[in-house]
């Protein structure tokens, strides 16, 4: 028996490696096109930026067995109605600011990032902002001077002052509001929003 069996043959495994890699990659490329088109801003899963003009909630759907974003009536941000173009600009400023200030190395966004501070996926809907009447104002003040307006929940951990301007703070809030409307397949689980009845 000097025949090398197939399972021990170098050239067989070489071909297998090439085909498996090429095949997997091809499937990934196809899925990527599909996923990107299903998640462009304005799709069902990722709403258009002008969603910041609407009331947003996140409720448990008994049939789907998971929480889903619920987009409601008009509820303007900072008392203004934004066109899609203006909304894009504001959210874009906010998104860029979160990167320039390196938020992700303390917080998680959509659950990715660092674990030193709370997840921001649904931060817009958090009960921590006490009531909807004061939420926007509280958020602007907090972002501009988190040291003075700190809420540490007994942890002594305070967000540092990142020299966020008022305009940047508004952008961040618009970005957070928009992000809270994304369909994240039920993550986070069991999240009770500022809208929920006690």
Partner 1 sequence: MNTSGLNGLMQNAAALGEKSRACLNDFKAWVQLDSTNLSDGQQLAVKYFTVAVILFFAQILFGLLAATQFIYPSFLYEILDFNVNRMIHINAMIVWMLYGFIGCVYWFLEDESGTEIVGLKLGNIAFWVLTVAVTVVVLVYLLVQIGPGKDSSLWFINEGREYIEAPRWADIGIVVVMLIFFYNVVATFSKGKWSGIAGVLTLDLVALAGLYVAGMFYMTNITHEQYWWWWVIHLWVEATWEVLVGVIMAWSLMKLLGVRRKIIQTWLYIEVALMFGSGILGLGHHYFWIGTPEYWLTIGGFFSALEPIPLVAMVVHAVYDSGTHAFKNGNHPALAWIIAQAFGNFFGAGVWGFMHTLPQINLYTHGTQWSASHGHLAFFGAYATINIAFFYLAIQHWRGDVWMGGGSQNAWRWKWALGLLNGGVLGMTIALLIAGYEQSFIERAVEGSTWGGYFTAQNHPSFQSAMVWRLFFGGMTFAGFILLVWDLLTIGKGETRKAPEVVET
Window 99 to 138, contacts with ligand HEM (CB under 6 A)? 112, 114-116
Task: Measure the CA–CA gap between 182 and 179, rounded to whole angstroms.
Answer: 6
Contacts with 191 (C-beta within 8 Å, 6 or more apart), sequence order: 58, 67, 122, 125
| C-beta atoms surrounding 171 within 10 Å | 23
Query: Which DSSP letter does residue 114 get?
Result: -
Chain-centre distance of CA 29, in angstroms? 24
- Which residues from 92-151 bind partner 1, rule CB under 8 A? 92-106, 108-119, 121-123, 126-128, 147, 151
Q: Using the minimum distance from each CB to ligand HEM, give the nearer residue, 88 or 118.
A: 118
Give the count of residues interacting with ligand HEM (CB under 6 A). Answer: 4
Query: Which residues ranging from 19 to 48 are in contact with partner 1 (CB under 8 A)?
Result: 20-21, 24-25, 27-28, 31-32, 34-36, 38-41, 45-46
3-state DSSP assignment of residue 68: strand
Within 169-188, which residues bind partner 1 (CB under 8 A)? 171, 179, 182-188
CB of 184 to ligand HEM, least distance (A): 12
Nearer to ligand HEM by Cβ, of 43 and 112: the residue is 112
Alpha-carbon span 93 to 75, nearest angstrom: 21
Q: Is residue 187 part of the contact set for ligand HEM (CB under 6 A)?
A: no
Least gap, CB of 137 to partner 1 (angstroms): 17
DSSP state at residue 80: B
The answer to whether the CB of 98 falls within 8 A of the CB of 173 is: no
Closer CB to partner 1, residue 34 or residue 61?
34
- Please choose which of partner 1, ligand HEM, none residue 187 contacts, taking the beta carbon within 5 to 8 angstroms, the exact cut-off set by kind: partner 1
Q: Which of residues 3-22 bind partner 1 (CB under 8 A)?
A: 8-10, 13-14, 16-17, 20-21
- Nearest Cα to 92, choosing from 160, 170, 196? 170
């Amino acid at each position: 028996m000097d025949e090398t069996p197939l399972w021990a043959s170098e050239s067989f495994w070489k071909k297998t490696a090439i085909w498996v890699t090429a095949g997997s990659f091809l499937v990934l490329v196809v899925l990527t096109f599909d996923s990107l088109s299903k998640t462009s801003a304005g799709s069902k899963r990722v709403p258009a930026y002008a969603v910041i003009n609407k009331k947003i909630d996140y409720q448990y759907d008994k049939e789907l067995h998971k929480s889903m974003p619920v987009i409601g009536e008009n509820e303007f941000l900072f008392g203004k109605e934004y066109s899609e173009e203006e909304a894009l600009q504001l959210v874009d400023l906010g998104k860029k600011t979160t990167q320039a200030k390196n938020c992700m190395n303390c917080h998680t966004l959509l659950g990715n990032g660092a674990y030193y501070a709370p997840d921001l996926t649904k931060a817009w809907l958090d009960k921590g902002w006490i009531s909807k009447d004061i939420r926007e104002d509280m958020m602007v003040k907090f972002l501009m001077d988190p040291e003075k307006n700190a809420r540490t929940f007994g942890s002594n951990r305070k967000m540092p002052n990142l020299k966020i301007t008022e305009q940047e703070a508004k952008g961040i809030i618009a970005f957070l509001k928009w992000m809270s409307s994304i369909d994240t397949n039920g993550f986070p689980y069991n999240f009770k929003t500022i809208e929920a009845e006690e």
